[in-house]
């Protein structure tokens, strides 16, 4: 039996959060909103509670979770971090970024899949922060989707994937970013490595850390080093309907490629940049817009929503890509991983 609680993030009724926090204390599972995507949480210090997350999601036990905390002090409690480094990461807290650091003993092995490193994040969403505060324990949480499916960015998505599988669902409206947090590894020498691109772009990280490594796999173009980030070996973000990704180029080239692909299907939809709508209207092609060249944040926040919206409603989703810059790197990473074919 799942209890659904609705919360207005701008006018939070404390009793509702306290009820859900009590459930966390009792080793129950709670789905909650964050600024990136919805998370599926449980007491991160309880092996029994964390096991329920893996079961609800159908997630492999060798894929570690992110530990969500509500204050900077917690970084000292759960990881080994120097004050110098803490001062740097403080500038990004709270926010849509996760740090991989050496783990302390108190964090159960089930959270980190037996690794000696911990992924830790302080989310900026007021509901997430309050839930962790009232629970008085850190909350381990992956994205609240069934493993392999696109991450949930709207209440409909979590209800569809998680109703009946968890104890509580906190509905808190639409998320702000729509792609999962940036993950950086701070354990491999002096220079941070981006393991997963997200809302905090490399330029911002360079301001703080000076230098930053962006491996090829962060673009979603090559296979990652599975030892460093085990989760990446699993199929990701994939709808059942095939996704065909058209890499960013000038308008004429992109539209031409799209029109070639359209011929291969009976009832495809083209998901295009707003700037290109005229072309598809002219050719009488079924389309929807997914954002514009002018605003990549809008593209990011609509991405998983649109992948879910047309899943199994059409026989192909042909998507126009954007440039690998800013949050566009995160968008293209997810799209390349979700794609059945890239042209």
Q: Which residues bind ligand TXA (CB under 6 A)?
A: 34, 36-37, 39, 63-66, 98, 100, 112, 115, 117-119, 121, 123, 141-143, 180-181, 183, 195, 228-232
**How many of the other CB atoms lie within 10 Å of CB of 147?**
18
Q: Please say which residue, 143 or 289, places its beta carbon nearer to ligand TXA.
A: 143
Residue 244 and residue 258: Cα distance in Å, rounded? 9
Residue 74 and residue 8: Cα distance in Å, rounded? 27
Residue 258 and residue 343: Cα distance in Å, rounded? 9
Residue 241 and residue 13: Cα distance in Å, rounded? 40
* Partner interacting with residue 37 (select from Mg ion, ligand TXA, none; CB below 5-8 Å by kind): ligand TXA
* Partner interacting with residue 147 (select from Mg ion, ligand TXA, none; CB below 5-8 Å by kind): none
* Partner interacting with residue 65 (select from Mg ion, ligand TXA, none; CB below 5-8 Å by kind): ligand TXA
Q: Does residue 120 sit in helix, strand or coil?
A: strand
DSSP string, 267-297: S-EEEEEGGGHHHHHHTT--EEEEEBTTBHH
* Partner interacting with residue 22 (select from Mg ion, ligand TXA, none; CB below 5-8 Å by kind): none
Q: 307 CB contacts (<8 Å, ≥6 apart)?
A: 150, 237, 239, 243, 317, 338
What's the residue count for the chain?
343
Handedness of CA 201, 206, 209, 211 (dihedral sign): positive
Q: Please say which residue, 181 or 241, places its beta carbon nearer to ligand TXA.
A: 181
Q: Please say which residue, 46 or 143, places its beta carbon nearer to Mg ion.
A: 143
Q: Please say which residue, 40 or 254, places its beta carbon nearer to ligand TXA.
A: 40
* Partner interacting with residue 231 (select from Mg ion, ligand TXA, none; CB below 5-8 Å by kind): ligand TXA
> Looking at residue 33, what DSSP letter applies?
-
* Partner interacting with residue 63 (select from ligand TXA, Mg ion, none; CB below 5-8 Å by kind): ligand TXA
- Please list every residue from 119 through 158 that binds Mg ion, using CB under 5 A: 143
Q: Please say which residue, 196 or 276, places its beta carbon nearer to ligand TXA.
A: 196
φ, ψ of residue 7 in degrees (nearest 5)? -130, 135
* Partner interacting with residue 230 (select from Mg ion, ligand TXA, none; CB below 5-8 Å by kind): ligand TXA
Q: Please say which residue, 98 or 339, places its beta carbon nearer to ligand TXA.
A: 98
- Minimum CB–partner distance for residue 301 and ligand TXA (Å): 13
Q: Please say which residue, 21 or 118, places its beta carbon nearer to ligand TXA.
A: 118
- Minimum CB–partner distance for residue 272 and Mg ion (Å): 27
Q: Does residue 42 sit in helix, strand or coil?
A: strand
* Structure token digits, residue 42: 């449980």
Omega within 30 of 0 (cis) for the link into 94: yes
- Minimum CB–partner distance for residue 36 and ligand TXA (Å): 3
Residue that is written with structure tokens 């909350």 in the block: 139
Total residues interacting with Mg ion, rule: CB under 5 A: 1
- Minimum CB–partner distance for residue 188 and ligand TXA (Å): 10
Q: Is 84 exposed, middle or buried (0-12, 13-18, 19+ CB in 10 A)?
A: exposed
Q: Which residues, listed in sequence order, are joined to residue 120 by a DSSP beta bridge? A: 67, 99
- Minimum CB–partner distance for residue 298 and ligand TXA (Å): 18
Residue 213 and residue 6: Cα distance in Å, rounded? 41
Q: Please say which residue, 143 or 182, places its beta carbon nearer to Mg ion.
A: 143
* Partner interacting with residue 224 (select from Mg ion, ligand TXA, none; CB below 5-8 Å by kind): none
- Minimum CB–partner distance for residue 165 and ligand TXA (Å): 16
Residues in contact with Mg ion by CB under 5 A are 143
């Amino acid at each position: 039996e799942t209890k659904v609680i609705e919360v207005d993030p701008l006018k939070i009724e404390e009793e509702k959060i306290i009820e859900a926090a009590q459930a966390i204390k009792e080793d129950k599972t709670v789905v909650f909103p964050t600024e990136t995507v919805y998370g599926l949480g449980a007491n991160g210090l309880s092996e029994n509670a964390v096991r329920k997350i893996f079961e609800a999601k159908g997630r492999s036990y060798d894929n570690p979770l992110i530990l969500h905390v509500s204050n900077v002090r917690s970084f000292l409690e759960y990881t080994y971090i120097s004050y110098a480094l803490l001062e740097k990461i403080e500038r990004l807290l709270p926010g849509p970024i996760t740090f991989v650091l050496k783990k302390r003993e108190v964090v159960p092995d089930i959270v980190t899949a037996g690794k000696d490193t911990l992924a830790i994040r302080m989310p900026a969403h007021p509901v997430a922060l309050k839930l962790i505060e009232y629970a008085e324990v850190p909350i381990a949480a992956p994205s609240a989707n069934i493993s392999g499916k696109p991450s949930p960015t709207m209440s409909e998505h979590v209800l569809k994937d998680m109703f009946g599988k968890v104890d509580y669902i906190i509905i808190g409206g639409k998320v702000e970013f729509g792609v999962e947090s940036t993950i950086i590894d701070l354990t491999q020498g002096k220079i941070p490595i981006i393991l997963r691109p997200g809302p905090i772009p490399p330029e911002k990280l360079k301001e703080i850390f000076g230098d930053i490594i962006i491996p090829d796999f962060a673009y979603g173009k090559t296979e990652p080093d599975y030892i460093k980030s085990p989760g990446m070996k699993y199929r990701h973000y994939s709808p059942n309907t095939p996704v065909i990704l058209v890499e960013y180029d000038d308008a004429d080239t992109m539209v031409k490629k799209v029109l070639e692909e359209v011929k291969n299907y009976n009832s495809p939809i083209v998901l295009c940049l707003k700037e290109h709508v005229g072309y598809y209207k002219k050719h009488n092609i079924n389309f929807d817009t997914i954002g514009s060249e002018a605003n990549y944040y809008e593209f990011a926040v609509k991405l998983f929503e649109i992948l879910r919206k047309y899943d199994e409603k059409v026989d192909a989703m042909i998507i126009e890509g954007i440039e690998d810059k800013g949050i566009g790197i995160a968008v293209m990473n997810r799209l390349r991983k979700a794609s059945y074919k890239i042209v």
